[in-house]
Each structure stands twice: as structure tokens, then as C-alpha cells.
Chain A
């Protein structure tokens, strides 16, 4: 412990016996994967590599002066490699935080807090699941491919994007033996009616024991409606602006319909993965 009074973090209380940590991670790579998204690989070690599909980290994004984000930015985990001590993120460069992240170079430090929140779960009775995602939600859903293959569960992934070059996570799903259906705005195949037809076909084929979705309000509502019609359980990963990430500040609440009543829940603490049937439009 030094005597620098300006020191705000030395990680003394974040090691070993605690399930999450404020870890100073080291950037391994931070490369563009398409015109809008970058892939960030960090050396972070334990407990960061305990992250499960659907969980998130709270990132202290870099920046100078007025460009320095004051609050952390939550970001769902894209990949974990416990053997190499690495965690991965796939992010769209869009605001103050992600523009700061985009400047990181190999060897740079990045403070990451996590893993945090409640992730996806797969019930032992499920043999076939359907994953439906769009945009940045595709990154959140990617680790589900690993979880499903570990459980011997077959995945059909319907991946939606504006253009073919913005579709992500196809390789992740294909590597685990998933059937991947890519739909885009540019050829009109992402139209909800077409996505609905895909889902109905999967339900009829008995390939939809559970639904998983992230990244589109419209697709979430479609899945929710079909799930209700056919009695299919489901999970949705949600986003919300956060401050603490640890359930303390109550900034990141959303409304959920539980047993006919609207209740407020914290996305960082009660989620970010929630029951599909309880989610409400955002």
C-alpha cells in the first residue's frame, strides 16, 4: 500500500475469496470486425473468467478531460477462456464510453468490474433451443453457444442485422453445431413475418424447447407472443443505463409483469437475463 492519497484503487480487497473483482485487465487485442464493431480481448484472470453466458462486466472506459466517461459502462461478456485467463467483448462503437474503448491498444490497462448479474440458464430437460438476436444482442447471445454445447443441447440461431456484413457470432454458433439462419434488412428477410415463419416452423418440428433473445424490442415481443401461444419458456437479456452495477443505486430499473402485477427490477442485480414472459416492451 503506497501513500499516494490520490490513489483510488489498488485492488486490495478484490482477490481470491470474492466472486467478483475490480480487476485491472490488460488488452491483448482490440480489432475491428466490421465497419461498426470491435472485438476486445483482455487478460483478466480469476475471478473474471468465472463469467457465465449473459453476465456482464462494468468497464471503466478511458478518455481525457471532458471526453472521460464519469460512470462505468456495462457490457455483456462475449467469450471466456479460463485456461488463458482471457475475457472477450464485442462492442459497437457508438457513444462516449465505446469511443474510448476503441482507442485501447495491446498492452493498455482497462479496469473491469465483474462478473456481475444473473446470466442465462439451460434446464436439463431442454434438448433444442432457439436463439433470436439482433444487432449488439448477437454478442450477448454468442456465449450461449458454448453453454449449449457443454450441455449437449442443439441450437437454432436466427441472427438478424441491417446488412450481411454486420451479422456477428455466426462462427461461434456454427462451431458448436448450431443451425444458423441469417436474416437482414437489406434483403428483406429480417421482416417480422418471415422471422415468425421460421419460429413457427421450428416449433412445429419440435426444435423449440426454449426461446432466448436479445437486442430487439420487436423480436422480443414476437418471441414472447409465440412463447405464450405455445407454452414455451424463454429468457431475454436486457439493457439499461447503469451507475453502480451492483444493485445499490436503483438507476437501472425496468418494469416486469409478474402474476398480473407490474414490478420494478434492477437490470444489474435481478438480471440482465429475465424470464421472457415477464418482460415488458422497452
Chain B
């Protein structure tokens, strides 16, 4: 019997597989048993009431998906009264994803959702749609450090900081988040992208630009997880294009303690369960007793990752 449990800081998960924020809701229980998951991650909540972006909000690309949803949110009171109580009937810990337009707003929101039933906070400081031109806190180390410090002071709960791939030096941003008190890093979010319909000459999503997800981005985010794991000592949660157990294992070998599955669930709603089962089968076949033994086990001896950062 393989031990699938992992520790994300002081939070123990029954297995390393959880949904990515925005790709999970109660609708999934129509087709799977939610208690199988390592954790739940909510859709991002904001204090502001947000309608979201104009349609079309999604366009498919080769092995990927471009989205510009725009974080529709019904606000904190609705969230506290409806969303959090729903998850109390299940075993996996609940991670609440939050976003705000300012460091002050982030701190207030973190305090407001630090309530019983919430196991950790995931601060989405990386959503490319929320700031003008897709700019976000996590694009720069300094703004990451400022917002993470405010968040750290605002809550006793474990603080996961979700980074953006839309930055020139993710290792530096990761170090800034760690220095400011993050308990874990979620690496990463969608890649700012665009698609144009050649028949109509119009952008294929209503917001012109959107975030790219799915298998197409996996090698890029995998590289970022590897860099962040090298640059920090806190747990990394890998998130980017994972659709099979092989993908999840790759992420763990690169240094991820746990993984988030997002877009794959849209194609195969039971993908997370399939990944958990196949992960256990892989460990069994390879004689790996604890799945945590995979974390950072990539064989890269004699290779200096820091030197590689600047290379093309």
C-alpha cells in the first residue's frame, strides 16, 4: 500500500492532487466522489462584486485553452454563507483562493475569510486578467514582497501565494514571497496570450487577451517549478497543464510537493481521480513506498540551475 500523503507545510494532504482555482465547483460531484481529492481549492473570491468579462470567454487552441473569465465574484458575505458551508460535508481540507486590487484589499480579505472550515489561503496575486494589460503583483519581486507581508500579518492560516508565469525572473519573485512569509507557492497561473479569428479579424476572446492553460504550457511551468524549488525552501504546488499521472510525477520530480489539475478536468471531469489512482499504481510498480519520495528527485547532478536562468 503506497503512502500517498504529502505535507504542504503544516497541512497534511491525503494525496498530492487537488483542483486548480476556477476549475472546480460543486457540479463535479455529479460525476465523481469529491472525498477522493487531496484538497479543495475554491474559485477566487474578491471583496468587490464582479460581473466578469464579456463573452466569448473561452477559445480553444492547439492542446490548450485561452480564457478571459474576469473573476466574477458575488463578494465575501455570499462566500461565507454559501460556499464554505457546502464543503464542510467533505473530508479534504478547503483552500480559499482570494484576489484583490491592492495589498490593503488583500489583507482585509485574508482576514475576512480566515474562518473555521478554511484550512489555508491561496493568494492569487497572479491573475493576468485582473489588472490593466494583465499586470499583476507577482510580475515583480518588490510588489510580491509587499503584498505577501500584508497577507502574512492578516491571517494565522497557512498562506499559499500563487505566482504568475508572466514575469522575467520567477525565482526572484519566489524568493520574495518566501522572505515575506509565504508558507507555500503555487506555481503557476495561466500564461498571458491571444488568438485572432482570421475570418472575422476579431480577437477570439471578448477581453482581447486571456490566459493560456492546458498541456501546451506544461513544459514552461514545469521549468518554473524546478527553478522555484531550487530558489526556496518552502513547498511548491505545481500547476500548469497537468492531465495525466505522468505529468504529476514530472512536476513532483521537478520539486513540487503537490499538484493542481485544472483544464484537464474540463475535458475529463474525473481526471483527478484517474491521476491519483495511476500515481499509486506507478509508485507500486517502481517500489516507491511514499509518494513524497518523488519530490525533487529529478537526477540533475552536476547541473547548475542558477546558471541556466539567463540562458535562452
When C-beta atoms are compared, the residue in chain B nearest to A19 turns out to be B30
Q: Are A22 and B270 in contact (CB under 8 A)?
A: yes
Closest approach, in angstroms, between the C-beta of A19 and any C-beta of chain B?
A: 5
Q: Are A14 and B32 in contact (CB under 8 A)?
A: yes
Q: Which of A18, A60, A240 contacts B30 (CB 8 A)?
A: A18
Known contacts A70-B61, A72-B267, A264-B72; decide if A248 and B30 are in contact (CB<8 Å).
no
Q: Is A7 an interface residue when CB atoms closer than 8 A count as contact?
A: yes
The interface stretch among A133-141, A142-150, A187-195, A249-257 is: A249-257
Q: Which of A5, A113, A251 contacts B57 (CB 8 A)?
A: A251
Q: Are B268 and A250 in contact (CB under 8 A)?
A: no
Q: Is A12 an interface residue when CB atoms closer than 8 A count as contact?
A: yes
Q: Are A9 and B69 in contact (CB under 8 A)?
A: no
Instruction: Compute how far the CA of A246 lies from the CA of B19 in the bound complex, rounded to whole angstroms.
Output: 14
Q: Are A248 and B24 in contact (CB under 8 A)?
A: yes
Instruction: Compute how far the CA of A21 lies from the CA of B273 in the bound complex, rounded to whole angstroms.
Output: 14
Q: Which of A241, A249, A269 contacts B69 (CB 8 A)?
A: A249
Residues of A within 8 A of B271 (CB): 8-9
Q: Are B285 and A249 in contact (CB under 8 A)?
A: no
Among B31, B36, B43, chain A packs the most CB atoms within 10 A around the CB of B31
Q: Is B269 an interface residue when CB atoms closer than 8 A count as contact?
A: yes
Q: Is B282 an interface residue when CB atoms closer than 8 A count as contact?
A: yes
Q: Is B65 an interface residue when CB atoms closer than 8 A count as contact?
A: yes
Closest approach, in angstroms, between the C-beta of B34 and any C-beta of chain A?
A: 10
Q: Which of A4, A71, A252 contacts B65 (CB 8 A)?
A: A71
Among B36, B64, B277, B285, chain A packs the most CB atoms within 10 A around the CB of B277
Q: Are B58 and A12 in contact (CB under 8 A)?
A: no
Q: Is A247 an interface residue when CB atoms closer than 8 A count as contact?
A: yes
Q: Are B244 and A243 in contact (CB under 8 A)?
A: no
Q: Are A243 and B55 in contact (CB under 8 A)?
A: no
Q: Is B62 an interface residue when CB atoms closer than 8 A count as contact?
A: yes
Q: Is A35 an interface residue when CB atoms closer than 8 A count as contact?
A: no
Q: Are A1 and B32 in contact (CB under 8 A)?
A: no
Q: Is A124 an interface residue when CB atoms closer than 8 A count as contact?
A: no
Q: Are B27 and A9 in contact (CB under 8 A)?
A: no
A62-97 vs B, CB cutoff 8 Å, 1 = contact: the mask equals 000010011110000000000000000000000000
Q: Is B167 an interface residue when CB atoms closer than 8 A count as contact?
A: no
Instruction: Compute how far the CA of A171 lies from the CA of B274 in the bound complex, rounded to whole angstroms.
Output: 43
Instruction: Compute how far the CA of A9 lies from the CA of B264 in the bound complex, rounded to whole angstroms.
Output: 11
Known contacts A12-B274, A249-B67; decide if A269 and B57 are in contact (CB<8 Å).
no
Main secondary structure of the interface of A (DSSP, over half): loop
Closest approach, in angstroms, between the C-beta of B243 and any C-beta of chain A?
A: 6
Q: Which of A5, A22, A66, A241 contacts B268 (CB 8 A)?
A: A22
Q: Are B27 and A269 in contact (CB under 8 A)?
A: yes
Q: Is B237 an interface residue when CB atoms closer than 8 A count as contact?
A: no
Closest approach, in angstroms, between the C-beta of B225 and any C-beta of chain A?
A: 18
- Which positions 222-254 of chain B face chain A at CB distance < 8 Å? 243-246, 249
Q: Are A12 and B273 in contact (CB under 8 A)?
A: yes
Q: Is B75 an interface residue when CB atoms closer than 8 A count as contact?
A: no
Instruction: Compute how far the CA of A116 lies from the CA of B63 in the bound complex, rounded to whole angstroms.
Output: 25
Q: Is A10 an interface residue when CB atoms closer than 8 A count as contact?
A: yes
Residues of B within 8 A of A11 (CB): 270
A250-272 vs B, CB cutoff 8 Å, 1 = contact: the mask equals 11111000000000100001000
- Which positions 22-47 of chain A face chain B at CB distance < 8 Å? 22
Q: Is A13 an interface residue when CB atoms closer than 8 A count as contact?
A: yes
Q: Is A20 an interface residue when CB atoms closer than 8 A count as contact?
A: yes
Instruction: Compute how far the CA of A7 lies from the CA of B246 in the bound complex, rounded to whole angstroms.
Output: 9
Q: Are B64 and A70 in contact (CB under 8 A)?
A: yes
Instruction: Compute how far the CA of A21 lies from the CA of B270 in the bound complex, rounded to whole angstroms.
Output: 9
Q: Are A251 and B31 in contact (CB under 8 A)?
A: no
Closest approach, in angstroms, between the C-beta of B195 and any C-beta of chain A?
A: 12
Q: Is A281 an interface residue when CB atoms closer than 8 A count as contact?
A: no
Q: Are B31 and A14 in contact (CB under 8 A)?
A: yes
Among B55, B63, B72, B273, chain A packs the most CB atoms within 10 A around the CB of B55
Q: Which of B36, B52, B269, B270 contacts A264 (CB 8 A)?
A: B52
Known contacts A13-B273, A249-B23; decide if A70 and B244 are in contact (CB<8 Å).
no
Among A11, A69, A240, A251, chain B packs the most CB atoms within 10 A around the CB of A251
Q: Is A186 an interface residue when CB atoms closer than 8 A count as contact?
A: no
When C-beta atoms are compared, the residue in chain A nearest to B54 turns out to be A253
The residues of A with any CB-CB pair to B shorter than 8 Å are 1-14, 18-22, 60, 66, 69-72, 113, 116, 240-254, 264, 269
Closest 4 CB pairs of A and B: A246-B27, A5-B246, A247-B27, A70-B60
Q: What are 14 pairs between A and B in contact, CB < 8 Å?
A: A7-B278, A10-B274, A12-B274, A14-B270, A18-B29, A20-B30, A22-B269, A243-B65, A243-B266, A244-B266, A246-B25, A248-B27, A250-B43, A253-B72
The residues of B with any CB-CB pair to A shorter than 8 Å are 22-33, 36, 43, 51-52, 55-58, 60-65, 67, 69, 72, 214, 243-246, 249, 264-271, 273-274, 277-278, 281-282, 285
Given pairs A12-B273, A70-B65, A70-B214, 17 additional interface contacts (CB within 8 A) = A2-B281, A3-B278, A5-B246, A7-B274, A10-B277, A11-B270, A12-B270, A13-B32, A14-B270, A70-B64, A240-B55, A243-B266, A249-B22, A249-B58, A249-B69, A251-B55, A264-B72
